[in-house]
């Protein structure tokens, strides 16, 4: 299985006066999988090398909080959903979105088709399993807009904290569960459940989606011209990787599998995931769409009695790096 050898080590095996490459450490928000294919493609295809970058990709996991890694100096940049990043910023960690490869959300609710839920308004009186730690706020905002309480009271929704699996749905502990179009939904299907037995509601379709998988850096570092230059090259190479991955999804998935040192991922799952991920990055160039940002902030501010953020952020994103990377 391929090891994540640093470019610097590879250069050490060559002769000649090679110029030292600039090091960049990227913290993923989850384990190695096709959700992050663009970065692995950029590493494998030499796009980072071409920008004179020695990039280290750190996989995430259930016990790894990317904002904490960034705050502790363990990474130069992190991938994070905007709800989590903006919450961290409001709590005092000055993170800034410098690029947004994902232009649409893959979040959705997946429900049993035999429990009487044909539309979101029918969720009243049912149990929904959802991830917490900020991931639930789009759902809370959605229910608030529908006038459905989420405290388990009569006529409301009972929230059950879900892990990163679909057991609560499969075991009938919940009528619905949060899923990603590219991951947990297919765990349900792989468990032997037919799509005809399910009803799904994509957040994008109901105007309550929030931005996912942005690239974030610490604000203080953005005052350093050398860091900005390094990030410009990193974003340019990463977006080149994403463009290639979207055009060659099967090959991109195989590259991801090559870098999975755990051996936990399967070819079938990663091929399927990459096909779905390609739809989420399609049409994007890394720039953050101000309208999508405004929608995300509005959703987070409308999160019922306990919103993920209490005030509209200031200075939470910049398009300067993507503009420089793209030559705009």
Share of the chain above pLDDT 70, in %: 92
Residues 45 and 81 in one domain: yes
Residues 87 and 114 in one domain: no
Structural domain count, the chain: 2
Residues 116 and 231 in one domain: no
Minimum mean pLDDT range among 96-100, 145-149, 313-317: 145-149
The range of the structural domain enclosing residue 238 comes to 7-104+211-326
Q: CA-to-CA distance for 46 and 52, rounded, in angstroms?
A: 10
DSSP 197: G
Minimum mean pLDDT range among 184-188, 206-210, 248-252, 266-270: 206-210
CATH of the domain at 149: 3.40.190.10
CB atoms within 10 A of CB 163: 10
Minimum mean pLDDT range among 108-112, 117-121, 138-142: 138-142
**Is residue 33 within 8 Å of residue 270, measured between CB atoms?**
yes
Please, what is the angle between helix 225-247 and helix 249-259, to 10°? 120
The strand order across the sheet containing 198-202 reads: 158-161, 127-130, 176-180, 107-112, 198-202
pTM for this structure? Answer: 0.89
Q: CA-to-CA distance for 258 and 244, rounded, in angstroms?
A: 17
pLDDT of residue 299: 86
SS3 at position 226: helix
pLDDT of residue 304: 62
Residues 97 and 127 in one domain: no
Alpha-carbon torsion (184, 298, 280, 320), positive or negative: negative
Mean pLDDT, residues 241-270 taken together = 96
pLDDT of residue 9: 40
- Residue 187, domain member (yes or no): yes
**Is residue 179 within 8 Å of residue 109, measured between CB atoms?**
yes
Residues 95 and 168 in one domain: no
pLDDT of residue 133: 66
Residues 219 and 318 in one domain: yes
Mean pLDDT, residues 182-203 taken together = 96
- Residue 248, domain member (yes or no): yes
- Residue 2, domain member (yes or no): no
Residues 38 and 70 in one domain: yes
pLDDT of residue 165: 87
pLDDT of residue 13: 42
Residues 282 and 293 in one domain: yes
pLDDT of residue 142: 87
Q: CA-to-CA distance for 247 and 9, rounded, in angstroms?
A: 30
Last residue of a domain, one of 162, 189, 206: 206
Tokens of 134: 């900020």
- Residue 137, domain member (yes or no): yes
Residues 87 and 127 in one domain: no
Last residue of a domain, one of 173, 206, 239: 206
Mean pLDDT, residues 244-264 taken together = 96
Last residue of a domain, one of 206, 221, 241: 206
DSSP 112: E
Task: Tell me what the pLDDT averaged over the chain comes to.
Answer: 91
pLDDT of residue 18: 59
Residues 251 and 272 in one domain: yes
Residues 254 and 287 in one domain: yes
Q: At 12, is the pLDDT very low, low, confident or very high (cuts 50, 70, 90)?
A: very low
Q: CA-to-CA distance for 135 and 300, rounded, in angstroms?
A: 10
Question: Looking at the predicted structure, is the pLDDT value of residue 277 above 90?
Answer: yes
Q: At 126, is the pLDDT very low, low, confident or very high (cuts 50, 70, 90)?
A: very high
Mean pLDDT, residues 37-47 taken together = 98
pLDDT tens readout for residues 143-163: 888 889 998 898 999 999 988
The winner for highest mean pLDDT among 7-11, 206-210, 272-276 is: 272-276
């Amino acid at each position: 299985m391929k090891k994540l050898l640093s470019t610097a080590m590879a250069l050490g095996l060559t002769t000649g006066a090679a110029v030292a490459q600039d090091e960049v450490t990227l913290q993923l928000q989850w384990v190695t999988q096709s959700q992050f294919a663009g970065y692995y493609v950029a590493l494998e295809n030499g796009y980072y090398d071409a920008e004179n970058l020695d990039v280290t990709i750190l996989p995430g996991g259930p016990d790894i909080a990317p904002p904490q890694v960034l705050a502790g100096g363990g990474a130069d940049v992190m991938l994070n959903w905007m709800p989590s990043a903006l919450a961290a910023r409001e709590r005092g960690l000055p993170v800034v979105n410098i690029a947004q490869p994902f232009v649409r959300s893959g979040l959705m609710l997946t429900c049993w088709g035999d429990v009487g839920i044909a539309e979101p308004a029918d969720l009243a009186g049912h149990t929904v399993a959802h991830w917490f730690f900020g991931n639930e706020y789009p759902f809370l905002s959605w229910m608030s807009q529908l006038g459905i309480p989420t405290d388990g009271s009569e006529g409301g929704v009972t929230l059950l904290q879900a892990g990163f699996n679909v057991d609560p749905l499969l075991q009938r502990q919940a009528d619905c569960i949060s899923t990603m179009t590219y991951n947990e939904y297919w765990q349900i299907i792989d468990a032997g459940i037919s799509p005809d037995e399910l009803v799904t509601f994509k957040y994008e379709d109901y105007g309550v989606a929030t931005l996912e998988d942005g690239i974030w850096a610490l604000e203080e570092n953005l005052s350093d011209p050398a860091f900005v230059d390094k990030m410009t090259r990193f974003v340019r190479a990463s977006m080149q990787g994403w463009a290639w991955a979207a055009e060659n999804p099967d090959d991109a998935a195989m590259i991801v599998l090559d870098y999975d040192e755990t051996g936990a991922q399967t070819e079938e799952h990663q091929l399927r995931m990459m096909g779905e991920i390609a739809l989420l990055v399609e049409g994007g160039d890394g720039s953050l769409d101000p309208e999508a940002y405004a929608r995300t902030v509005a959703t987070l501010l409308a999160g019922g009695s306990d919103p993920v953020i209490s005030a509209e952020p200031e200075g939470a994103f910049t398009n300067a790096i993507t503009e420089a990377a793209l030559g705009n």
